[in-house]
Amino acid sequence: MAKKEVKTDLWVYDLLKESNINLEPQGSTIKEIDKALKTASKSNTGNVGFPEYVGLVKDFILVIENKADVDKHIKINKKGIISCEIKDVKNYAVNGALFYAQHLAKNTTYKKIIAL
């Protein structure tokens, strides 16, 4: 991971801490979420994949993906919607967060999911 992205991860962590939102970095101790993430590779290989932060806030799963550069925030396709192509899911924060949210919705009993 690039040094700039680690700084972004720490900045996000500080914001979460300041807001009293307890999310876990790179995985989850919640069994159902942890099990679903074991097949959540953004490369769509069926291997493990982890968002930067994930956890429960009341009855919502909150998923956070971040990138160090603003130009890696979101990739919109020609139809004007968030691209779900593997390269875009891997390279853009919003696309990756959406991927994890959809994967968790399909592979857990949680249906209220916020992806950032």
Residue 104 Cα to chain centre, angstroms: 10
User: Are 39 and 32 within 8 A, CB to CB?
Assistant: no
**pLDDT confidence band for 104 (50 / 70 / 90):** very high
For 45-64, how does the pLDDT look when each residue is reduced to its tens digit (9 = 90+)? 999 999 999 999 999 999 99
Q: Specify the number of domains making up the chain.
A: 1
Q: Is 70 exceeded by the pLDDT of residue 39?
A: yes
pTM value > 0.75: yes
Q: Which domain holds residue 38?
A: 3-115
Rg (Cα) of the chain, in Å, rounded? 14
Residue 93 Cα to chain centre, angstroms: 8
- Residue labelled with tokens 């996000």: 12
**pLDDT confidence band for 5 (50 / 70 / 90):** confident
Closest CA to 83 of 68, 63, 97: 97
Amino acid at 68: A
